[in-house]
Structure 1
């Protein structure tokens, strides 16, 4: 429960930071809400009580009606005009505030997700993060509306009731306030007891969203292995958990509602007794009795709405808890204070005394231990080795997708840990093993690293990546939308789009992580020619299992369990008859009889 309260405080902190940027709208909303409820809920009954008292005092001649009751009528008209104006001003300020803050909260969530490390994203469902972001934004609107409708009217009702009735019936007000305080304390106590149920219900819903996202994202595997029923079983399990959590929350909220309803009955019983005997026992006037009943009925109705408001509040805070935890999570990879932009003039890369490990499920896996590798400016280096040797991890450390624990990575003598991440990555063209494209046009995907590129430059990059021919055959050519993750294109086509993107980016350092793995032999040969041109004069790191990709490079580094076991050009390593030669012979069929 303590953790739930801590998350609630942090959620309210983030919401307040966003709200105070638009304090004008917030204050307008508060003042308009006060004016609306004070005038329409209390101004009207007050004037009516004056009319009732005047009528009770004796008959009024027809010719005196205007002079006697005219001021009351004008007062009622003025009260309703100003009250309705406040109502519309309230609507305007509420909408403006919700729109402005939703924009800010969406930006905060997007920035938090974008600047988190790849380790963070690797351990979470993308669908869950999207769901948490949406709920976090919607929860603010729910909280704001709960504050302005059930809660502020309660405060206004109590203040107005005390201000008007204390001078007339102080005993009644004292009894009423005691009952209302008891109502509030019991409501708060029960609210605290069920707060954690909302976080649990929201967590179950997020799990369900994540499972749905995972199944849909991998629908091809589901269908090709005939696992629809299995996935449905998983989904049903999470769905039943949502039902169980929501049911538990519902039962607790209903019990709370029953208790508070009983207190409301007691309050209305007290006012009934006072109204029935108020004139005989205390000489209370008819107009005051009307006010007592009207104001007490207003207060109790507002308190009844608190029950609904607290349910909305609980649900909203529960929904927001997931993203609050994400926002509170420290960035595993972050820019140091006063980080400087990386300036690449030559392209030398040095890995000095690198220690790196990762933890998963409490188990630490050491990948590099005092690792050393030095790459000269303009040198083309291939990284090869069996799966798990650390090839891809090394490139990700260079890009600071993860941070090392010890040692330094230098680019032209500049420690990448002391430079801004964006400037580092804008100097490195990266083509991953699995090229994922945006649900945008082919041209936009190619120009992603250089959005200001002309269509002629985009076409030239596509031509050099051996992609122009198939692009021109697409229904809308370069304007064809590739589908989510490029699903409308084949693996080889996606890879060539990614290579065209790297060619167009024209960065001084190039990292290719299995960049030709999805290409057929003919396409690979064509792309190899393009890559040879692209790598000329640039520092290049090429990760490959297909050794034909790296055979022509200046130097090949063979990794085994995070260590360099061989280092040299292709011919030298073949002659050494070591691990590289063994891999080469297996791929070229030299071991076949």
Structure 2
């Protein structure tokens, strides 16, 4: 119970920026609730004075007061509802933005540990549940609590002996609500996790629709989704059963109290201790208690869903973001020269035995191109991730221009890196926006120059709207080679001193590889380049080839020297798997001297 209150207090804390409107809303609720007992209060003079006593003044005053009371109550409820919904929607928008922003700043390890479906379901499922708890739920809790207080005060004023009978059920009702709250919270947490899995299954199936069709796994995917959907249905029905049983139990208890009240009130009326007007007024006020009590009982399910969503959201918001380094000098850092130094670097992924990198030592000179080769799992891509500070070394350190990476401002460090990988990520936007991603103020002339340098201008001109053409989700309207060249154009525009190439040509056909390789050869000039590749045509052009096994360097040198040494590199060449031969579209060529 204490956890629920602290969680709800934190949730209500999101309303703090709108406290003036909150005050207005609460005052309107108080006004509406204070007018609720007016109806039963007017029934006493209506019966005793107007109907029985034939008081002519009461005959016109009571309808007038009744009309004024309902007019005031209607205005107050309108103000309360509109202002409360405005507050709730502002808070929900803020929370949704905070969750989205925080997810973007989380370390890559957190994203890898949690499914993309769960990340999506927080925004698509959890936040709407929180929204319901912040909008309708808090209106009902505040307004109906005041209504119950007002009606109870009137009941005490009218006949305190009868009111005690009603209050006798309060502890039992509170116990029922508490038990139901615990069960509902657990059920809703399970539903959130399952919803995340359902979202992930849909996302995976749709993104892999080609593989589903090619391998004929429609039935398998259908059964997998049906299993998750059935689990979600069962969890939902468990929540429905608990929620549905809660309200009738409370109402049965309330009915028992009402029956006792009516019997006692009839006895008091027979002894002339309760007038007919007071009796009708009391019974009416007591009957009016049922609806707010029913709403408060039913809204508990909405609150518990909201609290379960809030708990998930706050757990995410409490997760530490990437560690940045603040530059206390205040000076603008110059462009990096591009010298990289790895000193006894060690790193292992959580939950895996052994190290992906173990005692890795390497010095890369400014403007040098290093090709990293080795069998799958030898640590090549891990090295690229460490340079970008997606992960931090567990042992040793990495230096850029003599400074340890973990001492450099994260934004500045990543601005020094250009990256082109095998799996290019493009956005459902125009070609120009994708090339200028992260640099929205770039002039069209600069974007065109980058596209020309990337050998992409010819196919861009052929598109229906040129640079303004939208390319679909993840560039689905483009071929693999075209997508790759858009990524290279993006790297040209970024003009970073260090270029990281991770299998940039491995998934391309010969013609596409030739176009992409020509673009990469231009891009590599006057930059420090680390290349992870399996194509001999790409590896051979490097200034130095570094052969890796089990996270360590076992050989280093030029292609000719390593091939002649008959060591690990020669074995990789002979295997034809870890290093593919040069394609017929790209004949062998001697390394070109740097201009």
1:287 deviates by 3.2
1:500 deviates by 0.8
- Any stretches of 5+ residues in structure 2 without a counterpart? 584-595
User: Does the Cα contact within 8 Å between 2:488 and 2:519 map onto a contact in 1?
Assistant: no
For residues 260-279 of structure 1, give each alpha carbon's deviation from its aligned partner in whole angstroms, at most 9, with x where no partner exists.
22102112213322443332
Q: What residue in structure 1 maps to residue 44 of structure 2?
A: 49
1:560 and 2:549 matched: yes
Q: What residue in structure 2 maps to residue 512 of structure 1?
A: 501
User: Does the Cα contact within 8 Å between 2:33 and 2:146 map onto a contact in 1?
Assistant: yes
Q: What residue in structure 1 maps to residue 344 of structure 2?
A: 353
Q: What residue in structure 2 maps to residue 310 of structure 1?
A: 300
For residues 460-487 of structure 1, give each alpha carbon's deviation from its aligned partner in whole angstroms, at most 9, with x where no partner exists.
2112111111222223222222221222
Q: Give me the TM-score of the superposition, normalised by structure 1.
A: 0.90
1:402 and 2:397 matched: no
1:542 and 2:531 matched: yes
Q: What residue in structure 2 maps to residue 124 of structure 1?
A: 114
1:23 and 2:25 matched: no
1:356 deviates by 0.5
User: Does the Cα contact within 8 Å between 1:127 and 1:213 map onto a contact in 2?
Assistant: yes
For residues 194-238 of structure 1, give each alpha carbon's deviation from its aligned partner in whole angstroms, at most 9, with x where no partner exists.
431222233223222222222112111111000100111111111
- Equivalent residue for 2:219, pick from 221, 224, 229: 229
State the distance in 1 between where 2:7 and 2:100 align.
Answer: 16
User: Does the Cα contact within 8 Å between 2:431 and 2:471 map onto a contact in 1?
Assistant: yes
User: Please, what is the CA RMSD of the aligned residues?
Assistant: 2.6
Q: What residue in structure 1 maps to residue 382 of structure 2?
A: 393
State the distance in 2 between where 1:79 and 1:589 align.
Answer: 89
State the distance in 2 between where 1:270 and 1:343 align.
Answer: 84
For residues 138-196 of structure 1, give each alpha carbon's deviation from its aligned partner in whole angstroms, at most 9, with x where no partner exists.
12221123433442244213321233232331212222222233222222233324431
Distance of aligned partners of 1:30 and 1:418 in 2 relative to their CA distance in 1, 3 Å threshold: farther
User: Does the Cα contact within 8 Å between 2:137 and 2:302 map onto a contact in 1?
Assistant: no
SS at match of 1:259: helix
1:124 deviates by 3.2
State the distance in 2 between where 1:404 and 1:21 align.
Answer: 41
Q: How many residues align?
A: 577
For residues 60-99 of structure 1, give each alpha carbon's deviation from its aligned partner in whole angstroms, at most 9, with x where no partner exists.
35xxx4xx55554554344333322211211221221122
SS at match of 1:209: helix
Q: What residue in structure 2 maps to residue 370 of structure 1?
A: 359
State the distance in 1 between where 2:288 and 2:61 align.
Answer: 25
User: Does the Cα contact within 8 Å between 2:535 and 2:582 map onto a contact in 1?
Assistant: no
For residues 314-372 of structure 1, give each alpha carbon's deviation from its aligned partner in whole angstroms, at most 9, with x where no partner exists.
333344554444334444x4225778886543121122221210123xx4331112222
Q: What residue in structure 1 maps to residue 96 of structure 2?
A: 106
State the distance in 2 between where 1:243 and 1:27 align.
Answer: 40
State the distance in 1 between where 2:394 and 2:473 align.
Answer: 36
Distance of aligned partners of 1:589 and 1:207 in 2 relative to their CA distance in 1, 3 Å threshold: closer
- Equivalent residue for 1:491, pick from 466, 475, 480: 480
Q: How does 1:98-177 map to 2 (within 5 A)?
A: 98-177=88-167
State the distance in 2 between where 1:396 and 1:408 align.
Answer: 14
User: Does the Cα contact within 8 Å between 1:457 and 1:504 map onto a contact in 2?
Assistant: yes
User: Does the Cα contact within 8 Å between 1:465 and 1:530 map onto a contact in 2?
Assistant: yes
Q: What residue in structure 1 maps to residue 588 of structure 2?
A: none
Q: What residue in structure 2 maps to residue 428 of structure 1?
A: 417
SS at match of 2:534: coil
- Equivalent residue for 2:370, pick from 375, 381, 384: 381
State the distance in 1 between where 2:471 and 2:386 align.
Answer: 30
- Any stretches of 5+ residues in structure 1 without a counterpart? none
Distance of aligned partners of 1:249 and 1:161 in 2 relative to their CA distance in 1, 3 Å threshold: same
Q: Give me the TM-score of the superposition, normalised by structure 2.
A: 0.90
Q: What residue in structure 2 maps to residue 247 of structure 1?
A: 237
For residues 404-430 of structure 1, give each alpha carbon's deviation from its aligned partner in whole angstroms, at most 9, with x where no partner exists.
212222212232223332222122111
1:438 and 2:433 matched: no
User: Does the Cα contact within 8 Å between 2:422 and 2:506 map onto a contact in 1?
Assistant: yes
Q: What residue in structure 1 maps to residue 593 of structure 2?
A: none
Distance of aligned partners of 1:370 and 1:344 in 2 relative to their CA distance in 1, 3 Å threshold: farther
